[in-house]
Amino acid sequence: MIVRQRVDWKYTAILLLLLLGFVFPAAAEDVPFIQFGDRFHPVPGHGGMVVSQEALASRVGAEILRQGGNAVDAAVATGFALAVTLPQAGNIGGGGFMLVHLAERNETIAIDYREMAPAKAHRNLFLDESGNADAEKSRYSALATGVPGTVAGLVHAQEKYGKLPLRTVIAPAIKLAENGFEISYPLSFSFRYARDRLAANPAASGYFLNADGTAKAVGERLVQRDLAATLKRIANQGADGFYSGKTADLIVIQMSKSGGLIDHDDLAGYRVVERTPVWGRYRNYQVASMPPPSSGGVHLVEMLNILEGWDLESMGHNSADYLHRLIEAMRRAYADRSKYLGDPDFETVPVQALIDKDYAARLREGIATDRATPSSEVAPGLPVPEESPQTTHYSVWDADGNVVSNTYTLNFSYGNGIAVAGAGFLLNNEMDDFSAKPGVPNAFGLLGGEANAIEPRKRPLSSMTPTILFKDGDPVLATGSPGGSRIITAVLQLILNVVDFQMNIAEATAAPRIHHQWYPDTVDAEPGISPDTVARLKALGHEVKTAPWAIGRTQSISRDQSVFQGMTDYRWPGGEAVPAEGVNILQNNP
Active site residues: 391
Instruction: State the Cα–Cα distance between residues 21 and 47, nearest whole angstrom.
Output: 14
Instruction: State the Cα–Cα distance between residues 341 and 293, nearest whole angstrom.
Output: 7
Instruction: State the Cα–Cα distance between residues 587 and 58, nearest whole angstrom.
Output: 13
Cβ neighbours around 274 below 10 Å, total: 13
Which of 409, 471, 405 minimizes the C-alpha distance to 443? 409
Residue 19 parent element (H or E): helix 9-19
Which of 581, 572, 580 minimizes the C-alpha distance to 589? 572
Which of 345, 312, 432, 334 minimizes the C-alpha distance to 380? 334
User: Using omega within 30 degrees of 0 as the cis cutoff, is the peptide bond preceding 293 cis?
Assistant: yes
Contact, 198 vs 204, CB < 8 A? yes
Instruction: State the Cα–Cα distance between residues 330 and 351, nearest whole angstrom.
Output: 17
Secondary structure of residue 296 in the 3-state scheme: helix
Give the neighbor-by-neighbor strand order of the sheet with 474-479: 43-45, 563-568, 555-560, 474-479, 467-471, 285-289, 278-282
